[in-house]
Amino acid sequence: MKPKIFITRKIPTHVINHLEEVCEVSIWEHKDIPVPREVLEEKIVDIDGLYCLLTDAIDLELLQKATNLKVIGNMAVGFNNIDVEAATKRGIIVTNTPGVLTETTADLTFALLMATARRIPEASDFLREGKWSTWSPMLLTGQDIYNSTLGIIGLGRIGEALAKRAKGFNMNILYHNRSRKIEAEQELGLEYCSLENLLKRSDYICVMTPYTPETKKMIRKEHFKIMKETSILINTARGGIVNENDLYHALKDGEIWAAGLDVFEQEPVVLDHPLLSLPNVVTLPHIGSASIGTRTKMAEVVAENLLQALNGKIPTNIVNKELIAK
């Protein structure tokens, strides 16, 4: 009997075809909306493999209903939408898609940094709204990027790729990370800092850690108070890492200059969210890894991991490595 896989959204056809060669595949593809909870609860009961997205909450309650589930393939590098501990207790492998999205997400992070610093969306709207009457000395003036100081919080794969881009802009690069990255320090000329030191000295602060209990609301009121009034916060990691209410007040009260956000605590962000009312906030709908090539590769990686696990092999991108011993 072929193993059963459920895919929670439409993905590239060639990936579905590849999975269908050896699996019985069902897909939630009615609309580009997350699979309803009741459908997921029904499907989880007898599937062997789950192909899910960061919009799917794979929690304990759901996992308790899974009687056959062997592997969960998350189409993201972050896996905060999955209760990994509960999956591990049940012997269910969890996989993610590290690496293939690193450069694309670093590109987007740098693009957002530049768009925020140079007020690009605001300037574009200004022109389209017919407000451009003349060249003016201080019209839509922003912050310089070249020669400025970048602080990266979380120097992992994407953080390091971001540092490489920043070097091309002759930026002075500080980083704060759980562990020191001596090799990267030497190769890229980075300076390791405490969080406070980094926040005090940086012109640009990029949040690049995973979303975990330790990083939840890691950047909050007291941190904005020590940042420069001209500083810009960029978050392309996860919304919950920054206290959004504190960020709103810091931006409104001029404690910091601007923010560029690809991610929010609740996604999609509601249109009456206070942060969206501020002119000094540049927002994107969580598109960090959204290039055609990268999203295609991510889908392929999820499929490969699912097939490896269903074939009794250790998937390349297993998250709960403690299962390997078992």
Q: Which of 9, 29, 35, 7 is nearest to 19 (CA)?
A: 7
For the chain, the distance separating the N- and C-terminal CA atoms, rounded to the nearest angstrom, is 25
Reading the block at residue 93, the tokens are 């492998």
Active site residue 267: yes
Q: Which is nearer to ligand NAP, 6 or 211 (CB)?
A: 211
Nearer to ligand NAP, 18 or 121 (CB): 121
Residues that bind ligand NAP (CB under 6 A): 77-78, 98, 101-102, 105, 154-159, 177-179, 208-212, 214-215, 236-238, 262-263, 286, 288-289
The catalytic position among 238, 244, 295, 304 is 238
Q: How far is the CB of 179 from ligand NAP (least distance, A)?
A: 4
Q: 273 catalytic, yes or no?
A: no
Candidate list 119, 286, 295, 304, residue with the active-site label: 286
* Rounded distance between C-alpha atoms, residue 76 and residue 295, angstroms: 9
Q: Which helix (H) or strand (E) holds 300?
A: helix 292-310
CB-based contact 44:66 (threshold 8 Å): yes
CA distance 126 to 105: 28
Q: Are 72 and 82 in contact (CB under 8 A)?
A: yes
What is the smallest separation between the CB atom of 97 and ligand NAP, expressed in angstroms?
9
Residue 14 annotated as catalytic: no
| Residue 84 to residues 17, 158, 241, 286, 301, Cα–Cα distance (Å) | 28, 22, 19, 22, 19
Q: Which residue among 85, 214, 267, 322 is the active-site one?
A: 267
CB of 142 to ligand NAP, least distance (A): 23
Q: In the bound complex, which residue of the shown chain has the CB atom lying closest to ligand NAP?
A: 156
**Shorter beta-carbon distance to ligand NAP: residue 66 or 174:** 174
Q: How far is the CB of 269 from ligand NAP (least distance, A)?
A: 13
Residue nearer to ligand NAP on the CB measure, 119 or 176? 176
Strands 172-176 and 191-192: what pairing? parallel
Query: What amino acid positions are annotated as catalytic residues?
Result: 238, 267, 286
